[in-house]
Amino acid sequence: AGPGPTSSALMSDLLSILRGNIKYPFGISDNKRKSPSIYNTDNYSNALYIRLEVKDKPGVLSEITKKFAKHKISVQRLIQIPNNKNKTASIVIITHKSLEKDYQKCIKSFKSNLNIIKNPVLLRLF
């Protein structure tokens, strides 16, 4: 069987489940299946890529790294790329693994920093 028959069979099975034609689609009756538990993302640990657009002046980088230290976030790599035309800089930071709740507190504390021009860009690294 090629990809056509395989995908046709898969779609047929999914539609049967959605219509309720199959009594126990997962091999277990409804009353024996456990409800999924809600995952607390605050306790999730991962590394983070952060890009900040900041004013290029003395002390700005120090302010940012102090906030990371205050929230128990360790910096793995840091690159600062100046933009001399408009006296700003892009700061790219890759962190070691830290808790999501610590990242959220740290990023929230950046909102009051007038030297950070734009909202940070965040990517979780798994």
Q: How many domains does the chain have?
A: 2
pLDDT number for residue 85: 94
Do 125 and 45 form a contact (C-beta atoms < 8 A)? no
**In the predicted model, what is the mean pLDDT of the chain?**
90
pLDDT number for residue 20: 80
pTM here is 0.69
pLDDT number for residue 71: 96
**Domain range holding 113?**
41-125
CATH number where 62 lies: 3.30.70.260
Shared-domain flag, residues 28 and 45: no
32-88: pLDDT as tens digits: 777 778 878 888 899 999 999 999 999 999 999 999 999 999 999 999 999 999 999
Shared-domain flag, residues 104 and 86: yes
C-alpha 28/C-alpha 21 separation (Å) is 15
Shared-domain flag, residues 24 and 65: no
| Per-residue burial over 30-50, b = 16 or more CB atoms within 10 Å of its CB, e = otherwise | eeeeeeeeeeeeeeeeebbeb
Shared-domain flag, residues 65 and 114: yes
Question: If you average pLDDT over residues 89-111, what whole number do you get?
Answer: 96
Question: If you average pLDDT over residues 83-107, what whole number do you get?
Answer: 96
pLDDT number for residue 93: 98
Shared-domain flag, residues 59 and 117: yes
Shared-domain flag, residues 25 and 47: no
24-34: pLDDT as tens digits: 766 777 777 77
Shared-domain flag, residues 83 and 28: no
Using 50, 70 and 90 to split pLDDT, how confident is the model at 1?
A: low
32 token code pair:
């024996």
